[in-house]
Homo-oligomer: A and B are copies of this chain.
Amino acid sequence: MMTGGARAGEVWAGAGFGAARLDEGMWPLNGLPAAKLAEHGFTPTAEFLTAMQRAAVLFPGASGSFVSAEGLVMTNHHVGSDVLSELSTPERDLLVVGFTAKSRAEELKCPGMTVSIVETITDVTTKVLAAVKPGMTDGEAEAARKAAIEGIEREATAEARKQNPAEVAGVSLRGEIVPLFNGGKFNLHVKKIFTDVRLVFAPEGQAANFGGDGENFEFPRHSLDCCFFRVYAGDKPYVPESYLKRGITSDDGAREGELGLVFGHPGRTQRLLTMDDLKFQRDIALPSRLAFVWRQEIKGQSFVNRGPDELRTGTDGLLGWANSRKALTGQFAGLHDPALMAGKQLVEDRLVAAITKNPEWEAKWGDAIGNIAEAIEESESIFAERALWNTRGSGALSTAMTLVELAHQLGKPEAEREAAFKGPRLASLIERLGADRPVHAALEQYGLENFLLRVLETTGGEYPPAAQMLAGKSPAGRAMEIVSGTKLMEPKAVKALAQGGASAIEASSDPLLFLARQVFKQTLPLNERFEKEISPKLKANYAKLASARFATLGESVYPDANSSLRLSFGKIIGFTERGVKVAPFTTFDSLLAKADSRGKVNRDFELTERWQAARGKLNPATPLNFVLTADIIGGNSGSPVVNTKGELIGLIFDGNIHSLPGAFAYDMTQNRAVAVDLRAIREAIAVVYGAPTIADEIGK
């Protein structure tokens, strides 16, 4: 927890509008900070970067990497956990017992799972920006950019497919534009997408999540937070263009003081926010989100406490809420750290001063901060309502909402539709909607009841749209009625409606769809107002500030994270906490010591029987977890850590508690990324889980 006060604002000044500090930044691979890397004695070649780029795998909202010539993919247990939960049965809860495929034949298909890599990266900024003509309003400029982006994506997709005509089942190519610097720069990523993904290995949740919530975002740490999948193409293990190899000798591996490179997909940072926007996040957005996650976590706990089935089907979702809660708590603390805010104020003041001094800049960019403040005020006026209606809490309701939105979008001319509802994305949306996933009726009913309860908590019982959703029933009664009446728990029925298009969806009298329509009636005007009025204004003016930053700081700046591929880097070194030095490595030995002491009163620290049985066979000195100064954030989960030789040495799974304000700023003194050491992964899989073949394949 940050204590502020004592630290000067200058510590934080790098973060945000200032130039990046040495290990700060999540850098696009075609915009690396060569001088900083050189300061670490490292100058990557183009071949090196392409090899890393193509080995780096994108999971939905997370990261991974190819680690064998036969399509083996490494990521975190907490990245794979939703799949583990889905693949579980009353007889075999994979989150509890783990999973080890003893042969290729035993590898478990993961329905609906999609991963991808980035084949090529091209800067197309000029092409996109050429579409915006002088004199356009913010809204017109936004529409022009959108049209240009869609054109480039379509063309790139067609081109890529032409060059690789021999597509096999489970593999496809697609062009995607990645906007950077709030629209100051645009990269085209041609992606290779894989849809045949199978589960190879997962430890028990108890080992992956050792220490539970108390240890989450903390260090020292003792988690085996890994999970392995295999990508298939044409029903055969996929041979990747590139994969990460481990070092050859037994001395290879992470070392204190060494530079670690993290190739991954950091999800979202907001480091370029103005002070007004930061205060909006601090005073409005974060408190609202915190209140929501507290509620959802308690509701999730109440559900899993009902019985064994609920424990199995509800645990993964519950862990997600707990993780969000701890992350948001750290962000909120960060924004109430006076030193962080002083640092942010300092860099904003410097930028404003620089703009004001230059009449040309003042004319172009001088109104940006004020315009952003206006847009935030507008956003604030609909914030609570948007927050209410845009959250669901039930997967089935989300699906139904997507169907209603699909019908709505299909009713418009293609040019006016959102990007997700046309071209190849529309096809893959329909495919995803109809994917064969297990649906747990009790979990859905609980989620629906809680959605209705939350509506009532917020609007009260007399608000007409709320009363209409309840239809004269109690929330529990209405949820039960909907779940008993709906056909949309069957993926087949969803698929039929999705394929049937607007007319089929609109003709359906399914009670869940009926509720979704009622909710959509609430969200539509709010979201349209945001998308058409507020968001373009924010984008246009943040783009002005991005230009001002380029002008004052040159190329020493990096764009906010947005789930696109980045390199983060930093030294494997410890940190100091409340005056005490924290070493950068933990070991199997310290794991066993912790289990022996804290496991007695707290089950989160207990060893499973399998680990108890194997403890004598483990090398106590094997490094288990380690930290490095690399600047990462949620979405980096599952990223590989490689050394400057490109050798795989670890697996990112967390940041320490000081990394949590990283959404807004980076502090190299205490902010650390946390990784599982590759040696521990391989030894545990071989010794504890009795799967030496898998252990050997990793990075071979």
* In the complex, chain A residues 290-320 whose Cβ is within 8 Å of any chain B Cβ: 290-291, 294-295, 297-298, 301-302, 305-308, 311
A335→B3 CA distance, assembly (Å)? 43
A429 within 8 A of B: no
Closest residue on chain B to residue A306 by CB atoms: B214
Chain B residues, CB < 8 A from A457: 287, 290-291, 332
Contacts of A307 in B (CB 8 A): 214, 598
A302 to B291, CA, bound (A): 15
Lowest 6 A-B CB distances belong to which pairs?
A: A214-B305, A283-B460, A4-B474, A287-B457, A3-B477, A294-B294
Q: Which of B337, B458, B461 contacts A282 (CB 8 A)?
A: B461
Across the interface, which residues of B come within 8 angstroms of A214, CB to CB? 302, 305-307
Assuming the contacts A473-B5, A474-B2, A476-B2, asked whether A456 and B298 have C-beta atoms less than 8 A apart, the reply is: no
Within 194-234 of A, Cβ neighbours of B (below 8 Å) are at: 212-214
At the interface, yes or no: A602 with Cβ under 8 Å from chain B?
yes
A453 within 8 A of B: yes
27 A-B interface contacts by CB (under 8 A): A2-B476, A3-B477, A3-B480, A5-B472, A5-B477, A213-B302, A214-B305, A214-B306, A214-B307, A279-B460, A279-B461, A282-B460, A282-B461, A291-B291, A291-B295, A291-B457, A294-B294, A294-B298, A298-B298, A302-B329, A308-B598, A308-B601, A308-B602, A332-B457, A336-B453, A336-B470, A336-B474
Q: Quick one: which of A589-603 are within 8 Å of B by CB? A: 598, 601-603
Measured CB to CB, the nearest residue on chain B to A218 is B306
- Taken together as a complex, chains A and B put the C-alpha atoms of A2 and B479 apart, in Å, by 12
Q: Does A582 contact B (CB under 8 A)?
A: no
* Contacting residue for A279 out of B294, B462, B474, CB 8 A: B462
Which residue, of A326, A453, A480, has the highest number of chain B Cβ atoms within 10 A? Answer: A453
Per-residue CB contact flags for chain A residues 1-24 toward chain B (1 = under 8 Å, else 0) read 111111000000000000000000
When chains A and B are docked, how far (Å) is the Cα of A119 from the Cα of B301?
45
Asked if residues A338 and B279 are in contact (CB atoms below 8 Å), the reply is no
CB-CB < 8 A to A2: which residues of B? 474, 476
Q: Which of B3, B284, B477 contacts A4 (CB 8 A)?
A: B477
Name the residue on B nearest A473 (C-beta).
B5
Contacts of A598 in B (CB 8 A): 307-308
Bound CA span A332–B455, Å: 13
Enumerate chain A interface residues (CB-CB to B < 8 A): 1-6, 96, 212-214, 279, 282-284, 287, 290-291, 294-295, 297-298, 301-302, 305-308, 311, 325-326, 329, 332-333, 335-338, 453, 456-458, 460-462, 470, 472-477, 480, 598, 601-604
Per the bound structure, the CA–CA distance linking A55 and B426 in Å amounts to 74
Nearest chain-B residue to A4 (Cβ)? B474
- Residues of chain B contacted by A326 (CB below 8 angstroms): 302
> Which of B4, B284, B602 is the one whose CB lies under 8 Å from A473?
B4
Interface of A is mostly: helix
- Of B4, B282, B474, the residue contacting A338 (CB under 8 A) is B474
Which chain B residue lies CB-closest to A303?
Answer: B214
> Are B294 and A1 in contact, CB atoms less than 8 angstroms apart?
no
- The reply to whether B298 and A325 form a contact with Cβ atoms under 8 Å apart is yes
Measured between beta carbons, the chain B residues less than 8 angstroms from A287 are: 456-458
Q: In the complex, what residues of B have CB within 8 A of residue A306's CB? A: 214
A512→B651 CA distance, assembly (Å): 46
Report whether A474 and B3 are in contact in the complex, using a CB–CB cutoff of 8 Å: yes
A302 to B2, CA, bound (A): 16
Measured between beta carbons, the chain B residues less than 8 angstroms from A470 are 336
Residues of B near A473 (CB, < 8 A) are 3-5, 338
What residues of chain B lie closer than 8 Å to A294, measured between beta carbons? 291, 294-295, 297-298
For the complex with contacts A287-B457, A290-B295, 10 further pairs of A-B residues with Cβ separation under 8 Å are: A3-B477, A214-B302, A287-B456, A294-B298, A302-B329, A305-B604, A308-B602, A311-B602, A333-B475, A338-B473
Interface pair A283/B601, CB less than 8 Å apart: no
Kindly state the separation between the CA atoms of A287 and B5 in the bound complex, as whole angstroms.
36
Check A283 against B461 for contact (C-beta < 8 Å). Answer: yes
CA distance A311 to B599 in the complex (A): 13
Which residues of B sit under 8 angstroms from A290, Cβ to Cβ?
Answer: 295, 457
**Distance between Cα atoms of A337 and B461 in the complex (Å):** 11
B333 close to A474 (CB less than 8 A): yes
Determine the distance from Cα of A338 to Cα of B467 in the docked complex, in whole angstroms. 11
Contact A476 B333, beta carbon cutoff 8 Å: yes
Known: A5-B472, A474-B4. A603 touches B601 (CB 8 A): no
The reply to whether B336 and A461 form a contact with Cβ atoms under 8 Å apart is yes
- Whether A96 pairs with B601 at a CB distance below 8 angstroms is yes
A305 with B212: CB separation less than 8 A = yes
CB nearest neighbor in B for A299: B294
**Are the C-beta atoms of B5 and A474 separated by less than 8 Å?**
yes
**Are B332 and A453 in contact, CB atoms less than 8 angstroms apart?**
yes
